[in-house]
Structure 1
Amino acid sequence: MLTKVPLLNRLDPFLVGILVTVGVAALLPADGVVLSGFSWASKIAIGLLFFLYGAKLSTREAVDGLKHWRLHVTILVTTFVVFPVLGIAAKLLVPWFLNDPLYLGVLYLCVLPSTVQSAIALVSVARGNIPGAIVSASASSLLGIVLTPLLVAALMTSQGVTMSAGAVIDIVVMLLVPFVAGQVARRWIGAWIKEHSSPLKIVDRGSIMLVVYVAFSRGMNEGIWSSISIPRLLALVVTCCVLLAIVLALTWYMAPRLGFDAEDRATILFCGSTKSLATGLPMATVLFAGQPIGLIVLPLMLFHQLQLLVCAAIAGRLAKPAPEVPAAV
């Protein structure tokens, strides 16, 4: 049942925590040495999170999941091709619907990898292909470490974003190196982490809240709320809703036409339509140095909450057994 998965509860404590964190950053934004300290703490927490991801991923699960390569290619194409095309198309909304920083945030959202924990939890609830979801979500997250900066460089240079080798190295050190270290350490700590999921959940949510606090503290120092009006904010919410609806519809109706069964269909739906807050926020702090970071990550934060609420409802519907058809007399 849906209520057995804490992440997917209707009133998600994580959502409440993010809203509280934004409120604290608005009232008590960090600055100077304090902000620098929180920034370093968030980077360490994100590194620990990816270390735990690496330690949790079973090599056997990965090998079993890799056999279904058509599933993974479909999800990766949705994540890194279909989404970016929709992001480019959203340029038509500027300036009458979205302003430039918000559009930059929408485009950035579209080039991010899929979620890991959320997607797997949703697939599990919907009775989808769990090994396939584990491999697809993990592969998306790892490939995103390389593909997201490349897509940012290709699509956002005209928006005033500059890429450097140092930024890519920072992302690799912050995300990929800890993941590989976790895979190496898995033989000693992997079983314990699988049996005790609480540490991963605490680090997952705690690290994201730290990054949110740092991003919005910087935003408050830059006067973020004075640069966005209520109509613009509502326009952004509508944009995120339409973007999510389009991708959900495409993945749902495309899967059976490509020959996938019901389990794979659920996996494509949730792994292909979700975007990672855990990867996107720390990357943004590196990729958009000197940019209005608060406004740029705002679309990602809104989309992340929308995807949880909408996808949880869909997963709950898919979890219900189909009604029995009476036998013909």
Structure 2
Amino acid sequence: MKRLRRPVRLPIDPYVVLLLGTVGLAALFPARGTAADVSAGASTAAIALLFFLYGARLSTREALDGLRHWRLHVTVLACTFLIFPVLGLAARGLVPVLLTHPLYQGLLFLTLVPSTVQSSIAFTSIARGNVPAAICAGSFSSLVGIVVTPLLAAVLLGGSGGGPSADSLVKIVLQLLVPFLAGQVLRQWIGGFVTRHKKVLGYVDRGSILLVVYTAFSEGVVQGIWHRVSPIRLGGLLVVEAVLLAVMLLLTWYGAKALRFGREDRITIQFAGSKKSLAAGLPMAGVLFGAHASLAVLPLMLFHQMQLMVCAVIARRRAQDPASEQGPAASEDASANPSPVDAGPRSG
């Protein structure tokens, strides 16, 4: 008797629900006056704390140990920081037909953000891909993105209104790079503490991001930015993002096949090379865009949920592929609880 397949459940990320709730709170009760100043100061401190914890959590040595599989990592980095931005630049022709200029800026910014760590590992494991390579690829992308994403944003967005300015480079160094490097330097002393309390610190990570989102969207509401976005424009953004995700999923899979990677490595390349990190992108946008961050992060928030839902279906189908029976079994923990929410860089 033929066994019936279990229906694929699309993951609705609880954290995205919290993010949307935070957006709603900012829309109804935006921070004004003194409250806005306090919120902005707290948001700045939260971003610095986020990147300090990223530095303390990320094991550079373990990431460098993965250089033995350098072809895979170069391929993932090329997808993340080369092909994605090229597609983002190509979408410039959709302004103003489908996208407004601010929404296009947000779309281009999302193409510059590093890949995820946790969700790439989870879906690679479910699909029976190369999990160790996924860990290293995610770590490499996060490490490179600390420097490359702000620089690409300064080059590609610096010439247009609302994009990064020269002052942003100073903020990048002070709010992103310095805390991250401090975390890396202090990792040998505090790494054990961070590992033992990673669950509690995970709440600190996510709470900090919620604060950044509230501050950014409050500024947008106070300045009347949201009156410039119509439902038709949002629909156009969703269509463009769906096409972008589909193109990247196809390119990563068939491109890796053309480069003669094995099945397990192709799975890793597809999931690590087609994703964008919400946890890394939101605080970066807060630093780079300031008062314009609310529209800049909207495309990233929508893309994040879209990639989770689509990749959940793909991962399950890859796991049911007869060819997957020849590869190593997926991790039981990851399969049972994939936790596709990206919580930022973590050690392997």
**Is the pair's TM-score, using the shorter chain for normalization, greater than 0.5?**
yes
Q: CA 1:221–1:53 in 2, change beyond 3 Å: closer, same or farther?
A: same
Q: CA 1:184–1:112 in 2, change beyond 3 Å: closer, same or farther?
A: same
Alignment match, 1:313: 313
Segment of structure 1 superposing worse, 53-62 or 250-259: 53-62
Residue 112 of structure 1 contacts residue 144 of structure 1 at CA under 8 Å; is this kept in 2?
yes
The question of 1:181 aligning with 2:191 is answered: no
Residue 211 of structure 1 contacts residue 282 of structure 1 at CA under 8 Å; is this kept in 2?
yes
CA distance in structure 2 between the aligned counterparts of 1:188 and 1:149, rounded to whole angstroms: 29
Segment of structure 1 superposing worse, 124-133 or 31-40: 124-133
Q: Which amino acid in 1 is paired with 2:38?
A: G
CA shift digits 1:42-70 (9 cap, x unpaired): 33333333333333333442232122111
CA distance in structure 2 between the aligned counterparts of 1:195 and 1:127, rounded to whole angstroms: 28
Q: CA 1:45–1:164 in 2, change beyond 3 Å: closer, same or farther?
A: same
User: How do residues 249-288 of structure 1 correspond to structure 2 at under 5 angstroms?
Assistant: 249-288=250-289
Q: Which amino acid in 1 is paired with 2:144?
A: L
- Report the Cα offset of residue 227 of structure 1: 0.7
CA distance in structure 1 between the aligned counterparts of 2:319 and 2:198, rounded to whole angstroms: 23
CA distance in structure 2 between the aligned counterparts of 1:314 and 1:203, rounded to whole angstroms: 31
Q: Which amino acid in 1 is paired with 2:76?
A: I
Query: Stretches of 4+ moved more than 6 A in 1?
Result: none
Residue 62 of structure 1 contacts residue 131 of structure 1 at CA under 8 Å; is this kept in 2?
no
CA distance in structure 1 between the aligned counterparts of 2:232 and 2:183, rounded to whole angstroms: 45
CA distance in structure 2 between the aligned counterparts of 1:281 and 1:57, rounded to whole angstroms: 19
Alignment match, 2:97: 96
Unaligned runs of 5+ in 1: 1-7
- Report the Cα offset of residue 321 of structure 1: 6.5
Secondary structure of 1:213's counterpart equals helix
TM-score (norm 2): 0.83
CA shift digits 1:64-92 (9 cap, x unpaired): 21221111111111111101111111111
CA distance in structure 1 between the aligned counterparts of 2:324 and 2:312, rounded to whole angstroms: 24
Unaligned runs of 5+ in 2: 1-8, 326-348
- How many residues were matched structurally? 317
CA distance in structure 1 between the aligned counterparts of 2:324 and 2:174, rounded to whole angstroms: 53
- Report the Cα offset of residue 218 of structure 1: 0.9
Segment of structure 1 superposing worse, 126-135 or 297-306: 126-135
Secondary structure of 1:96's counterpart equals coil
User: How do residues 89-128 of structure 1 correspond to structure 2 at under 5 angstroms?
Assistant: 89-128=90-129
- Report the Cα offset of residue 196 of structure 1: 4.2
Q: Which amino acid in 2 is paired with 1:312?
A: A
Residue 114 of structure 1 contacts residue 272 of structure 1 at CA under 8 Å; is this kept in 2?
yes
Alignment match, 1:52: 53
Q: Report % sequence identity.
A: 58
Alignment match, 2:236: 235
Q: CA 1:186–1:241 in 2, change beyond 3 Å: closer, same or farther?
A: same
CA shift digits 1:128-179 (9 cap, x unpaired): 3333223322222232232223222332244335654532232233223333
Secondary structure of 2:322's counterpart equals coil
- Report the Cα offset of residue 101 of structure 1: 0.9
Alignment match, 2:343: none
Alignment match, 2:173: 172
Q: Which amino acid in 2 is paired with 1:314?
A: I
Alignment match, 1:303: 303
Alignment match, 1:3: none
Residue 61 of structure 1 contacts residue 131 of structure 1 at CA under 8 Å; is this kept in 2?
no
Q: Which amino acid in 2 is paired with 1:135?
A: C
CA distance in structure 2 between the aligned counterparts of 1:190 and 1:131, rounded to whole angstroms: 21
Residue 66 of structure 1 contacts residue 132 of structure 1 at CA under 8 Å; is this kept in 2?
no
Residue 98 of structure 1 contacts residue 235 of structure 1 at CA under 8 Å; is this kept in 2?
yes
Secondary structure of 1:159's counterpart equals coil
CA distance in structure 1 between the aligned counterparts of 2:280 and 2:324, rounded to whole angstroms: 43
